[in-house]
Chains A and B, each alone.
Chain A
Amino acid sequence: MKQKTIGNETRVNRWGYFFVLPFVLAFVLFNLYPTIYTFVIAFTDLKGLRNTFTFVGLKNFAKLVSDKYFWGAVENTFVMWGWNFIPQLGIALLLSIWLSDIRLKLKCKGFFRAVIYMPNLLTAASVAMLFRSLFAYPIGPVNQFLQSLDIYAEVERNGTMIREAFQFFRSVPASRGIVAFIQWWMWYGNTVIMLMAGITSISASLYESAVVDGANSRQTTWHITLPMLRPMMLYILVTSMIGGMQMLEVPFLLTDMRGAPDFKIRTTNVYLYNMAFQGVNDYAYAAAISIGVFIITIVLALFIFFFLQDRSELKKKRVGVTK
């Protein structure tokens, strides 16, 4: 009797494999295989309308390391991601603290949360097109608004100064700023939700005892909420960086699909797209770019974890063990 039950159990367990099979198949086919293929073709000369290739060793990577435009694209990506991340975390912190503060007793919290999250539901491509027309030159909503305030660009034309509309997409800081703003606007809602989840998971007893001890709002925020949110902020930093390194649609569609003005909003992924799907279709080099981005992301993620992790807990544990 006992034997039979065990037999039954094993048979039932086997069904588990069937249940995960669809995922495993989809993963291998659409995720694992393309990833391996990318690694393989990065070492080849696959280019143009061919599907045959020969291995060329590290040639593509040698080119990558000395390609100033690749490093320019890395710089562009980081500048725009940084301009988006710092205000994103700051404003999201403020909003999440307000929205989850019990003492503030805010009304319509659910409504605010929904509104804040809303931009994230829009497609990046359509947001890019929206901003493209908002900041259009010489006539566009933003320019018209500025002119109603009597703000014009002073341009020298043929020796005389002329007042005309702003050419936003010919200015590097303005274009980068617009990209960063779009990224911020689309993602701060997501960060708010994450931080609020982090805040609600902080034990209420900590706040209660602090209040009993006479702590005010600022003190509880500064000494309880922020330190306890550290792991969550670390997580947000890393995921946001990974997302930021993959920035494509917005800078791609905002100007000329090549990162104008002066290729200064050309992110690594836009550069990759230009290489692989425009011009001579240099798939091998594009694969090398994607691996380059992959390595940079991993190194930075490890770096962040190593330096920003709260190591006081680790130390305590170690002390405990030696005792």
Chain B
Amino acid sequence: MKKFLIVLAAAVVLMTGCAKKDAKASGTLVVWSFTDELKTMIDKYYTPSHPDVTVEYSLTPTDQFPNKLDPVLASGQGAPDVFALEAAFVRKYIESGLLLDITDIANDVKSKQLAYPIEVGTFNGKVYGLSWQGTPGAMFYRRSLAKKYLGSDDPAEVQKYFTDLNKFLETAALLKDKSTGKCVVVSATGDLLMPFKGARKAPWVVDGKLNIDPAMVTYMDMCKTLKDKGYEGRQGQWSEGWFAGMKGALKDENGKDVEVFSYFLPTWGLHYVLKTNAPDTAGDWAMCPGPAGYSWGGTWVAAYKGTKNAVAAKDFIKYVTSDDTFLEAWAKDTGDYVSNNTVVAKIKDSYAEPFLGGQNHYAAFATMAASVNGKLIQGTDQAIEGLFNEAVTAYMNGEKDKNQAVEDFKSQVNAQLGL
């Protein structure tokens, strides 16, 4: 036992000694996250390959995460070294000036990484956050319904019915007609927000002023049309009925069956929303790009600028967001769409997702990821969209006319965000 201890001590001394020579990552890293994905990455991959670094991990639910992070970042007391940031609030921190500049590691890996996650992590020419994933979105539809009403369940054929927004409306009408009112194209109008956001030319805030992109006005009109004509299922996103639609078990208030043709979901939506909530309809799904390319969600990793262990923090971020070996293993484990193009190119042709009836989702996402514009995401998006959502709902339900709804929206944004 004593001998063993001496050997161990010697080994530790040796290893730490070596580590210092190579400026290798060592010491302790405090990591905060709202997603347990990071925990798996640390336990299964990072710690085994980086035995010198002790990671102290803590998990906080997404909705409380910013409230926990804000005070410690502002004061610098008890701040974590590295933390995960969700798409909804990542820009708030990227724009805050409180994050560690990681432009050097971003430049190292830029050539092999997907472009848009780096764009999201960039502010004033400097990179503050990187992501291990790309989250392009697709239109997931039920094969059986496509066959019944559109004559084919082949993704290329179905896509022809949804090439643009006009075609989308035409097909919505067609689905309703052919099914005698049973089949709705989406269960919730909110499903279309993300594709429409992806279709914008400019973000919400341009030169410190609120900018309502024409795509957002089109979205309001689209919601109204879908609702008025009964082309949608009148559910709220993430509601019980919304999930019931995935299972093919949605009924309206009169007990009549409602068939939901499609859901607009991104990469994670396939694995964590569709697969987990609709096991009964496995194999009856397929995906196509739909009327507009978009991205939804995603997790970025960033470090606090006052971290005492910048070397390890940078190394950690570089490893989890770009390391070839790790991301390949991660993609194979989870099916996650990774941000490393080298890995994507290597593995994309090896997939056949049984849930999608054998379709290769990875290759499909790879084509969709390239068209995403990372410059549309801003820190104030979540707050603005919360207020916009109220305007859309009021217009859609006929409580306000369009002008009134838009004016009220502008005035609320001005009062709450000063834009």
Q: Are A158 and B386 in contact (CB under 8 A)?
A: no
Is A164 in contact with B390, judged by CB distance below 8 angstroms? no
Q: Are A69 and B389 in contact (CB under 8 A)?
A: no
Is B412 an interface position by the 8 A CB rule?
yes
**A279–B74 touching, CB < 8 Å:** no
Q: Does B306 contact A (CB under 8 A)?
A: no
Asked whether, in the complex, the Cβ of B228 is within 8 Å of the Cβ of A157, the reply is yes
Contact A139 B241 (CB under 8 A): yes
Cα distance A61–B227 in the bound complex, in angstroms:
42
Tell whether A287 is near chain B: CB-to-CB under 8 Å. Answer: no
Segment from B12-20, B51-59, B91-99 that makes contact with A: B91-99
Contact between B399 and A165 (Cβ–Cβ < 8 Å)?
Answer: no
| CB contact between A280 and one of B230, B383, B394 (< 8 Å): that residue | B383
A136-171 contact mask (Cβ, 8 Å, vs B): 1 or 0: 111100011001000000001110000011010010
Closest residue of chain A to B229 (Cβ to Cβ) is A158
**Residue B329 at the chain A interface, CB threshold 8 Å:** no
A49 adjacent to B98 (CB under 8 Å): yes
Partner of B387, one of A137, A258, A277: A258
A275 contacts the other chain (CB 8 A): yes
Q: How far is the CB of A264 from chain B (nearest CB, A)?
A: 11
CB-CB nearest in chain A for B99? A49
What count of chain B residues pass the 8 Å CB interface test? 43
Taking a contact as CB atoms under 8 Å apart, the answer to whether A258 and B96 are in contact is: no
Contact B390 A258 (CB under 8 A): yes
Q: Tell me which residues across on chain B come within 8 A of A67, comparing CB atoms.
A: 415
Closest-by-CB residue of A relative to B244 is: A139
A292 at interface, CB cutoff 8 A: no
Instruction: Flag whether B416 is at the interface (Cβ < 8 A).
Output: yes
**Closest CB of chain A to B320's CB: distance in Å?**
24
Complex: chain A residue closest to B252, CB-CB: A138
- Cα–Cα distance between A262 and B398 once the two chains are bound (Å): 12
Q: Is the CB of A49 within 8 A of B418?
A: no
User: Which of B390, B398, B416 contacts A279, CB < 8 Å?
Assistant: B416
Decide: A49 near B92, CB < 8 A? Known: A136-B240, A158-B228, A280-B383.
Answer: yes
Of residues B93, B380, B386, which shows the largest number of chain A Cβ atoms within 10 Å of its Cβ? B386
Q: Are B74 and A50 in contact (CB under 8 A)?
A: yes
User: Taking CB as reference atom, which chain A residue is nearest B390?
Assistant: A260
Q: Quick check: A167 and B397 within 8 Å, CB to CB?
A: yes
**Measured CA separation A137–B234 after assembly (Å):** 8
B394 near A51 with CB under 8 A, answer no
Is B253 in the interface zone, CB < 8 Å from A?
yes
State in angstroms the CA–CA spacing of A50 and B70 once bound together. Answer: 9
CB proximity of A150 to chain B, nearest CB, Å: 12
Asked if A256 meets B390 with Cβ closer than 8 Å, knowing A49-B92, A138-B241, A278-B383, the reply is: yes
Contact check, A49 vs B96: say whether CB atoms are below 8 A apart: yes
Chain A residue at smallest Cβ distance from B253: A165
Query: Which residues 104-148 of A have a CB within 8 angstroms of B?
Result: 136-139, 143-144, 147
User: Do B241 and A170 touch (CB < 8 A)?
Assistant: no
Q: Is B403's CB within 8 Å of the partner chain A?
A: no
Please encode chain A, from 255 to 269, with 1 for each CB lying within 8 Å of some chain B CB and 0 for all others.
Answer: 011101111000000
The reply to whether the CB of B417 lies closer than 8 angstroms to some CB of chain A is yes
Pull 11 A–B residue pairs with CB atoms less than 8 Å apart, ordered by A. Answer: A49-B96, A50-B74, A68-B415, A69-B415, A144-B253, A167-B397, A170-B393, A261-B394, A279-B382, A279-B416, A280-B417
Report, nearest first, the 6 A-B pairs whose CB atoms are least far apart. Answer: A279-B383, A49-B96, A51-B74, A165-B253, A158-B228, A69-B415
